[in-house]
Structure 1
Amino acid sequence: MLNPSELLKQKCHPTEAGLNDKALPEFLAAVPGWDLQDGKIQRKFSFKNFYETIGFVNAVAFIANREDHHPDLEVGYNRCVVKFNTHSVNGGKGGISENDFICAAKINALSN
């Protein structure tokens, strides 16, 4: 079983290699709260107010820039949905890679 702390120690790297369907459940189990939807992993985060939401968005932006792996964000007053996939996988068609889970683990660490 994949340990979430292993993902926290890793750094994203350019890749065209996606994860196969057999590996996805193990990786999803390592990032509680995330699920697979429409070819992306995603998680909804809820907050008390807009200020906390934007603080979280700024922290996600910091992680994304440091890892050079950027999510799609849906931001509202007291919520943020974070979605990851890797555009270079599948010959440029997109898919799920280990990079998506590395970032998901680091974002989960923000809420602990």
Structure 2
Amino acid sequence: MDPLLQQTCQACSIDASPLDARQCGELQSQIPEWQIIEHDGIMKLQRSFEFRNFHQALAFTNRVSTLAEDAGHHPVLLTEWGKVTVTWWSHRIKGLHHNDFILAARTDEVAT
């Protein structure tokens, strides 16, 4: 099992520091299909998932929404015909936290 899947998300306080590039690189190696992007000066994790139709894309979106609600941590979800783009980051600290990598791995799991 993926080591990230075995971990539990921890509450992220406002004074927590975002992960640095080295830490992000180490964690990203466990979820290689995810990209680290920068948008508005904030580092984020992003991946697009492809589906055969809109119905499957929407069903996946709903599974990710359940995952997000359970964790109390919410991504940006862009649902299109045959495609869903998921973007995780920690809004409170304006960057990437360990939780984002855990939830990216769990997103991969609900995609299968």
Same fold (TM over 0.5): yes
Name the CA distance, whole Å, in 2 between partners of 1:10 and 1:62: 18
Question: Residue 70 in 1 paired to residue 74 in 2?
Answer: yes
After TM superposition, the runs of 4+ consecutive aligned structure 1 residues lying more than 6 A away are none
Question: Residue 13 in 1 paired to residue 17 in 2?
Answer: no
- TM (norm. structure 2) is 0.87
Q: Which residue of 1 aligns with 2:29?
A: 29
- Structure 1 segments unaligned to the other structure (5+ residues): none
- Structure 2 segments unaligned to the other structure (5+ residues): none
Give the number of equivalent residue pairs: 105
Coordinate RMSD, CA, aligned: 1.3
- TM (norm. structure 1) is 0.87
Name the CA distance, whole Å, in 2 between partners of 1:40 and 1:21: 12
Structure 2 counterparts to residues 1-112 of structure 1, below 5 A: 5-15=2-12, 16-38=16-38, 39-89=43-93, 94-112=94-112
